Amino acid sequence: MSSDSKDTIRTLISRFNYKRVLNSNPQFKVISLLGTIDGKNAILTVEKTHFMFEENIQLQQQKPSIYSNRNNKSTRDSKEASHHPHSHPHPYAHASLFNQLKAESPPPLYYHCKNEYSCVQGLQDIKQITSNDVYYWGVGIIKQDLNKSPTARINLIWPANYIHIKRFDQQNLHFVIETPATYMQVVKPYINEQVNDNQSLKWIYRILYEGSDNDRVLYKEDEDRERGFLILPDTRWDGVNIETLYLVALVYRDDIRSLRDLKPVHREWLIELNKKIRSIVPACYNFMVRSDELRIFIHYQPSYYHFHLHIINTRYPAGNEGLTVGKAVLLEDAIEALTYSGPDGYMERTISYSISENHDLWKRGLESANQQQFDNMGIPRTPEIGN
């Protein structure tokens, strides 16, 4: 959809025509629907939001971002300050900027805060189902407000292509052992196709170079494109509950497409990124999350082939596919692995991960290469079971 379109998510959803359920996850209270809008495929994902409670409401009311401090006197007077509206001095040099932010930010309050939309105060009606001894079961209705306590988080993709549909469709996952040879023969040609496709990374370039989502960007450092990056909230986060904090760091350099491209020469760069992220993010949220309460990781295979880092609160709910072993590689583990790697780094390694059978890579060669790998390991093939 073009940036000058008059459509909004509200007007688009009003024209959504349901076709089928792509996926429904009762554990995470998420459902994804396939439909059409104006004759073009659309994917609508609805996720029930987390409950509000008194402490969380109070903390969010106290939350400034780094940008809310960028015009104060101490920041204006910094000789290192950039003229870019979303750039800042070196984020951890002598920790000066963040010490200033911490000193100037009001201390968070953790008690004596009531809000009419909290999970207790907001209960409007309760019906008991049954009870037994000290145990009681029931159902209820909780007061909702679109700004203070929304019922659901909504995500819409339109027009959605077949890759989007495959990604959201419920599917079986397979454990893959990807050797360097498999990467060169199967995966690398696929990555090259994705990168050369003008549409697949268009939304990334709009964020990096055209100012798209500037109002959501928490931090941007773009003077040196070799080392520059920006941080913004992931669309999976509701932007309210700090326990489910989910951010993404996008780098400006385009010579690294995935984990496979990381080499020992990149180790110092990754260490610097790690330090900056762990310094910047706590300051963005008034130190409601500490540097050691952040988990930073790399996906392989990633959903798009422009190097990026995922940043979440360590309390983020377990069970999400993106956090599973064989999908998420911790940044610290990648840095440590490069310490003992040869000059080609991850290009020399066998990498194991899970991938869905709907992924193009599975049918384009990973299935057969993986079966051959299992045969070489002496693992018997699964017999075909008749209906």
Residues 6+ apart with CB under 8 A from 105: 62, 64, 286, 287
Catalytic residue, chosen from 88, 266, 306, 308, is 308
Q: Is 351 helix (H, G, I), strand (E, B) or coil?
A: strand
Prior bond of 61 cis (ω within 30°): no
List the Cα angle 267/330/254 in 5-degree steps. 50
Tokens 């070799």 identify what position?
226
List the Cα angle 43/47/48 in 5-degree steps. 155
Question: Strand runs (DSSP E) across the chain, as ranges?
Answer: 17-25, 30-37, 40-48, 123-132, 135-142, 152-157, 173-178, 219-221, 229-233, 246-251, 294-299, 308-313, 328-330, 351-356
Structure tokens at 57: 């409401």
Cβ 63 vs Cβ 71: under 8 Å? no
Active site annotation includes 308: yes
Distance (Å, rounded) from C-alpha 313 to C-alpha 296? 9
Tokens 């596919």 identify what position?
321
Give 355: exposed, middle or buried? Use CB within 10 Å, 0-12, 13-18, 19+: buried
Residues designated catalytic? 308
